[in-house]
Amino acid sequence: MPKTILYLDPDSKLNLQNQIRQRLVDGILSGAYPPGSKLPSSRKLAEQLKVARNTVVLVYQQLAAEGYVVTRERSGLFVNPDMLSTRVGHGIVKAASTARTGSAWRRRIKATISDPATRAVPNWHRYPYPFIDGKFDPGLFPLAEWREACRLSMSVADVREWSTGNGDADDPMLVHEILTKILTRRGIQARPDEILITMGSQHSLYLICQLLVDKSVTVAMEEPGNSEFRHLLEQRQASVRPQPVDREGLVVDERLAGTDLMYVTPSHQIPTAVVMSPQRRKALLQAANEHDCLIIEDDYECEINYLDQPQPALRSMDTEGRVIYVANLSHVLASGIRVGFIVANADFIRYARALRHAMLRHPPLNNQRAVAFFLSLGHYDALMSKLARVLQERRLALRDALNFYRSVSIEISPEVGGTTYWVRLPPDFSVGYLASEAERRGILIEPVAHYYADARHAENCFRMGVTSLPLERIRPGVVELTELIRVLVSGRVEHLGTSLGQWLTGDELRDAMADKTIIYNVVYGVPCTIELHADGTMKGTAGYANEDCDVGRWWVDGDRWHRQWQQWVYGEEAAYYIVINDDQIKWFNEAQQLVDSAFIRTMVEPG
Amino acid sequence: MPKTILYLDPDSKLNLQNQIRQRLVDGILSGAYPPGSKLPSSRKLAEQLKVARNTVVLVYQQLAAEGYVVTRERSGLFVNPDMLSTRVGHGIVKAASTARTGSAWRRRIKATISDPATRAVPNWHRYPYPFIDGKFDPGLFPLAEWREACRLSMSVADVREWSTGNGDADDPMLVHEILTKILTRRGIQARPDEILITMGSQHSLYLICQLLVDKSVTVAMEEPGNSEFRHLLEQRQASVRPQPVDREGLVVDERLAGTDLMYVTPSHQIPTAVVMSPQRRKALLQAANEHDCLIIEDDYECEINYLDQPQPALRSMDTEGRVIYVANLSHVLASGIRVGFIVANADFIRYARALRHAMLRHPPLNNQRAVAFFLSLGHYDALMSKLARVLQERRLALRDALNFYRSVSIEISPEVGGTTYWVRLPPDFSVGYLASEAERRGILIEPVAHYYADARHAENCFRMGVTSLPLERIRPGVVELTELIRVLVSGRVEHLGTSLGQWLTGDELRDAMADKTIIYNVVYGVPCTIELHADGTMKGTAGYANEDCDVGRWWVDGDRWHRQWQQWVYGEEAAYYIVINDDQIKWFNEAQQLVDSAFIRTMVEPG
């Protein structure tokens, strides 16, 4: 038996048996327990770990059945010497270290890829006040209902159906449920061959653009409109024609002549949330027929429709088969699970299906079946009703808070629908600067300039949404934000002596920093989290896959806080004066000038 | 209470409570139980359904909590009148029927889409003898282990992590598990920012082609080679340079000069299964360095590697960062769940991540987490060991059967590796004809011509694989196939009087047809299933999403079998003589000539 001591984590979500199993397997595969080495008896291991002997016996039986260990008569249990024989390089040499050099990739890249401008802040859900529309707080996820649907989708018979894949076909059960439980709600009747399941609306739009758009094509888009769709059009080198939106939706006039394709979001316009009027819908379809033009109808955020008397989808009014209808499952489900769909004429769906097959075969069939059960049990309808109620409450809370706290220097746009409000800052004030300052206080807001083809139209606006923010956080979030605006607008320069908040020193400073988490954006926009432990160690994690980590030390010496990373910032020591103002931490340099600030909170153990 | 009687299906996989709930929800949403209508008391409904009263009480409580029904004091339970108020068209008019006309889509399609030539027969798993390589029979799916991994991935803490999405990041747990449990097996060391999770190998290759290939690029491909990758290159209008494969893998010689990109499948060549020799691997990397060329390494079917002493991946030997490594999870898992990954330099991964984001955001995070648990518990390694054993057994069974039964007229290629055998027919015999005749007897084989850029090389070959075929079916399948070849090669013309099998008439014919399922391909290649019920009704289902259905009648009149569909084949009646030969049914016309044949089996209830 290797000397390695097995350590059980009392906070693990695995049960004891699985924990022991995982540790043993890790040890065997990593070579910590070499092939042929003897394992301790179940009695001994049980004693060592302080668990029931039977627990260890069960683990050993499982490992033996799977070939990790072998029994030798009267000698005990050994790591199977053959288990690792198929592992490359085992017992021979360490694999050659992979080269990181010689990259010069840029010259090899043939595609036009723009970093999406609307990319949400990663880890947005770790901020206390994410006023971002279209994201949902995990508290709204229908956990018990989804577990039930998943469990049902894993019956022997169901797994037989979804585990093997089936060419380019979708799950017939899901197609049926969407036809009967979602499309009827939108007034749409369709046949199964008029539906294609996708990985969500973005995937639907990507497929459509690949099929219908190239540089010979002119596309009319709402102005302001969905900037991610505009990026897709730009990648396909289409001519984009921005067409204004008024209080009835897309303006239908002679400027639509000569377009091949129109992209509209009639039930909840992106980003204004205007609902297209019935008259306008009729006019739009008529214009499409006149100009021999196709319509992409993006039925964005169906949960919002509950707030108003919903209008039937354009697709349901289309007598010439010109409308391609795109929808997601509710974002609450779709963000993690990624299911959406396209409804269009069977001819078009056939092409889209062939392209999807070449691109990725089909969306995962296990998820298709689980979503089908979720719909068939009525959980989806119940979820939508609940969301309508919750979002209505939140919208009113935002309205009231904005009404009460707004500073005289800003302007709230009249209500147009949906769950967002638009805020306009004074003309000499940068909304980008406000957004980054707010982020340092844990508040996320969304500047809207990227929604405009001509960004001059909305330089000083931002949008506040409440889909991702629980009710009780709305008012404090608005208070923080308006306070920040007040301070910034008053044009105050921040020096240590006059800084808002508490200037901490000595033991007070040490106590204030211990066991805190700092959430931070490094200059090139990558998210970063720093954990300050009471014992003077600290740990930093950065990057989208937490790929950049470092550890270091921190301490207080007199009036200043010191820190030193092992590798980050050249491993050099630095010292700062610290001011803490509620959830904000501010660093001042030797000259007592503000250097940086971030959001700080008491450390929470995951789990 | 509406008069509708609730019917409970004793074979349903839902429990009673969920069945009752599903029926009631269906009824409410479809309008069968109109808003405001009264539901029966729990006592009455329990009596009617012969279930415990408490079961109904629980269903009613759940429906009330979700807003489907409301309680009125002293009056009972009613369908919530507001439940449907947000449903479009409810109580007003039926939605306008969607137009099917005006399609002329072909002229609008800008993309080059070829129907993939290698597309597997849909419903292949319903055939008794699918000798197709690379598909897996559902019996190999690790059901209990996958359920466990799924269950763990649905803890409250895990769902919080995966349900909201996180920009374009992947699940850090899955990235870690792939690094430590899969890549170590291939000798590859990588950092988290050098991995991108994809929807499987096809998706990986699609992303790579979009990024690196356009018409200015020359790509060397194995000949024969992966035809699906060749299609992707053709869609990007690349110059494709076929390079021969010998018994050591891709031939490395001066013909590789001037290529920008090479695509290779070194660990299990597609389709020959040759393993590239260590010398050849070194020569290939050297050639890539000399010609400043990138290599795409498709590590196809890692489960097969267990059969041989595995070679380290090219990526692990690459000192200049030229290799882009592509792999799937084992097909056993990935077919339904769709998880694969790319390993390459961080620069390239950054571009690929941005493209993936524009295309579909990210692969579903719930599946990423479940797969991560599957790996962390050691189930993946156990699965791979099991597959190696099972596939080895099957390969030997195929070898023995082919050896024993093969007819003198065919030639079996020497063994080269993997789990397939290549069979060559006489020069005057069409392998396409054999494949379609075999399919009618329930046997699927794979002609290999599409793997060749120059199809003359393999006109008369087909490939037989055993990954999707349980051990006990291999020998009977080979018997059936060789018998078929014998009959076809002997050039016999099939007439009713001399037809192989039993010519059935009268009661015998009626009995033979009752409760049978016929599996069929209609002329334009769409799969079709016909169920013949004992009561003389029949049901037909066709299309990839079962979108084309019809019902009809069948009967026996004297010597002939009659059938009439409501809509199919113009609703006209037709009569045939029938011969049944084992699992094959043959239809003969009035002139006693063979008209058609198909695969027939006793009807099996799903469940």
Task: Give pLDDT tens digits for B334-348.
Answer: 889 999 999 999 889
Interface contact flag, A98 B188, Cβ < 8 Å:
yes
Determine the Cα–Cα distance for residues A596 and A482; give it in Å rounded to an integer: 21
pLDDT of residue A232: 94
pLDDT of residue B490: 65
pTM for this structure?
0.75
Nearest residue on chain B to A292, alpha-carbon basis: B102
Residue A523 binned pLDDT confidence (cut-offs 50, 70, 90): very low
Max mean pLDDT range (B166-170, B209-213, B488-492): B209-213
Interface contact flag, B187 A88, Cβ < 8 Å:
yes
Determine the Cα–Cα distance for residues A130 and A485; give it in Å rounded to an integer: 17
Q: For A388-411, what is the mean pLDDT?
A: 78
CA distances, A71 to each of A61, A68, B308 (Å): 10, 10, 26
The tens digit of pLDDT for each residue in A545-563 reads 666 788 999 999 989 999 9
Residue B39 binned pLDDT confidence (cut-offs 50, 70, 90): confident
Q: For B481-498, what is the mean pLDDT?
A: 75
Q: For B97-115, what is the mean pLDDT?
A: 58
B606 contacts in A (CB within 8 Å)? 157
- Among A466, A463, A469, residue whose Cα is nearest residue A270: A463
pLDDT of residue B579: 93
| Partner residue opposite B141 with nearest CB, options A148, A163, A214 | A163
Peptide bond into B527 cis (omega under 30): no
Q: Which two tokens stand for residue B219?
A: 């790509």
pLDDT of residue A173: 93
**The domain at B496-602 falls in which architecture?**
Beta Barrel (2.40)
The distance from CA B475 to its chain's CA centroid, rounded to whole angstroms, is 24
Determine the Cα–Cα distance for residues B406 and A130; give it in Å rounded to an integer: 70
Statement: residue A389 has pLDDT above 80: yes
pLDDT of residue A403: 73
Statement: residue A308 has pLDDT above 80: no
Looking at chain A, the whole-number percentage of residues with pLDDT higher than 70 is 84
Q: Domain coordinates of chain A in residue numbers? A: 16-84, 171-363, 395-488, 496-602
pLDDT of residue A2: 36
A541 vs B427 pLDDT, higher one:
A541
B206 contacts in A (CB within 8 Å)? 358-360
- Among B226, B227, B255, B254, residue whose Cα is nearest residue B241: B255
pLDDT of residue A138: 85
B159 contacts in A (CB within 8 Å)? 138, 141, 143, 146, 336
Determine the Cα–Cα distance for residues B363 and B196; give it in Å rounded to an integer: 10
Determine the Cα–Cα distance for residues B541 and A579; give it in Å rounded to an integer: 72
B364 contacts in A (CB within 8 Å)? 199, 336-338, 364, 367
Determine the Cα–Cα distance for residues A605 and A12; give it in Å rounded to an integer: 12
Residues A285, A286, A287: CA angle, nearest 5 degrees: 90
Residue B30 binned pLDDT confidence (cut-offs 50, 70, 90): low
A544 contacts in B (CB within 8 Å)? 166-169, 353
Do A171-363 and A496-602 show the same overall fold? Answer: no
pLDDT of residue A303: 62
Residue A293 DSSP code: -
Tell which CATH classification among 3.40.50.720, 3.50.50.60, 3.40.640.10, 3.20.20.70 matches the domain B171-363: 3.40.640.10
Statement: residue B507 has pLDDT above 70: yes
Q: Which of A478-487, A488-497, B160-169, B423-432 has the lowest mean pLDDT?
A: A488-497
The distance from CA A398 to its chain's CA centroid, rounded to whole angstroms, is 23
pLDDT of residue A121: 61
| Partner residue opposite A150 with nearest CB, options B119, B154, B155 | B154
B576 vs B127 pLDDT, higher one:
B576
Q: Which of A241-245, B135-139, B302-306, B492-496 has the lowest mean pLDDT?
A: B302-306
| Partner residue opposite A192 with nearest CB, options B150, B158, B545 | B545
Residues in chain B: 607
The tens digit of pLDDT for each residue in B431-467 reads 888 888 888 888 999 888 888 888 676 668 888 988 8
Nearest residue on chain A to B309, alpha-carbon basis: A86
Statement: residue B523 has pLDDT above 50: no
Statement: residue B514 has pLDDT above 80: yes
A143 contacts in B (CB within 8 Å)? 154, 156, 159
Interface contact flag, B22 A180, Cβ < 8 Å:
no
Q: Which two tokens stand for residue A292?
A: 């021999």
- Tell me the nearest-neighbour CA distance from A511 into chain B, angstroms: 29
pLDDT of residue A32: 64
Q: Which two tokens stand for residue A583?
A: 């959830």
At which residue do the structure tokens 């001399």 appear?
B498
The tens digit of pLDDT for each residue in B316-374 reads 999 888 999 999 988 888 889 999 999 999 889 989 999 999 999 999 999 999 999 99
What topology is assigned to B395-488 in CATH? Answer: Aspartate Aminotransferase, domain 1 (3.90.1150)
The distance from CA A176 to its chain's CA centroid, rounded to whole angstroms, is 28
- Among B133, B197, B131, residue whose Cα is nearest residue B169: B197
ipTM of this complex:
0.75
The tens digit of pLDDT for each residue in A36-93 reads 788 888 888 888 788 888 888 888 888 887 778 888 767 788 888 776 554 443 333 3
Q: What is the mean pLDDT of chain A?
A: 83
- DSSP output for B316-378: HH-SSS-EEEEEES-HHHHHHH--EEEE--HHHHHHHHHHHHHHHSSS-HHHHHHHHHHHHTT
Statement: residue A101 has pLDDT above 70: no
The tens digit of pLDDT for each residue in B578-590 reads 999 988 899 888 8
Interface contact flag, B147 A166, Cβ < 8 Å:
no
| Partner residue opposite A122 with nearest CB, options B169, B322, B347 | B169
Q: Which of A65-69, A94-98, A342-346, B49-53 has the lowest mean pLDDT?
A: A94-98
pLDDT of residue B486: 75
A206 contacts in B (CB within 8 Å)? 358-360
Q: What is the mean pLDDT of chain B?
A: 83
pLDDT of residue B493: 53
Parallel, antiparallel, or unpaired: how do β-strands A527-532 and A537-542 relate?
A: antiparallel
Cα end-to-end distance, chain B, whole Å: 32
Parallel, antiparallel, or unpaired: how do β-strands B584-588 and B502-504 relate?
A: unpaired
| Partner residue opposite B214 with nearest CB, options A110, A160, A185 | A110
A124 vs A566 pLDDT, higher one:
A566
Among A9, A20, A166, the residue to mutate for chain B (most B Cβ within 10 A): A166
Interface contact flag, A165 B335, Cβ < 8 Å:
yes
How many beta-carbon contacts under 8 Å exist across A and B? 436
B167 contacts in A (CB within 8 Å)? 119-122, 544
- Tell me the nearest-neighbour CA distance from B24 into chain A, angstroms: 9
What topology is assigned to B16-84 in CATH? Answer: Arc Repressor Mutant, subunit A (1.10.10)
- Tell me the nearest-neighbour CA distance from B434 into chain A, angstroms: 22
Q: Which two tokens stand for residue B477?
A: 């399948």
Residue A429 DSSP code: S
pLDDT of residue A545: 62
Q: For A189-217, what is the mean pLDDT?
A: 94
Determine the Cα–Cα distance for residues A273 and A38; give it in Å rounded to an integer: 67
Interface contact flag, B122 A167, Cβ < 8 Å:
yes
Q: For A159-185, what is the mean pLDDT?
A: 87
A367 contacts in B (CB within 8 Å)? 364, 366-367
Q: A156 phi and psi, to 5 degrees?
A: -55, -45
Residues B129, B135, B137: CA angle, nearest 5 degrees: 60
- Among B540, B496, B502, residue whose Cα is nearest residue B521: B540
The tens digit of pLDDT for each residue in A228-238 reads 999 999 999 99
Q: Which of A71-75, A496-500, B202-206 has the lowest mean pLDDT?
A: A71-75
Q: For B282-309, what is the mean pLDDT?
A: 82
Residue A409 binned pLDDT confidence (cut-offs 50, 70, 90): low
Max mean pLDDT range (A266-270, B35-39, B291-295): B291-295
pLDDT of residue B348: 92
Max mean pLDDT range (A297-301, B275-279, B410-414, B600-604): B275-279
pLDDT of residue B414: 57
Statement: residue A291 has pLDDT above 60: yes
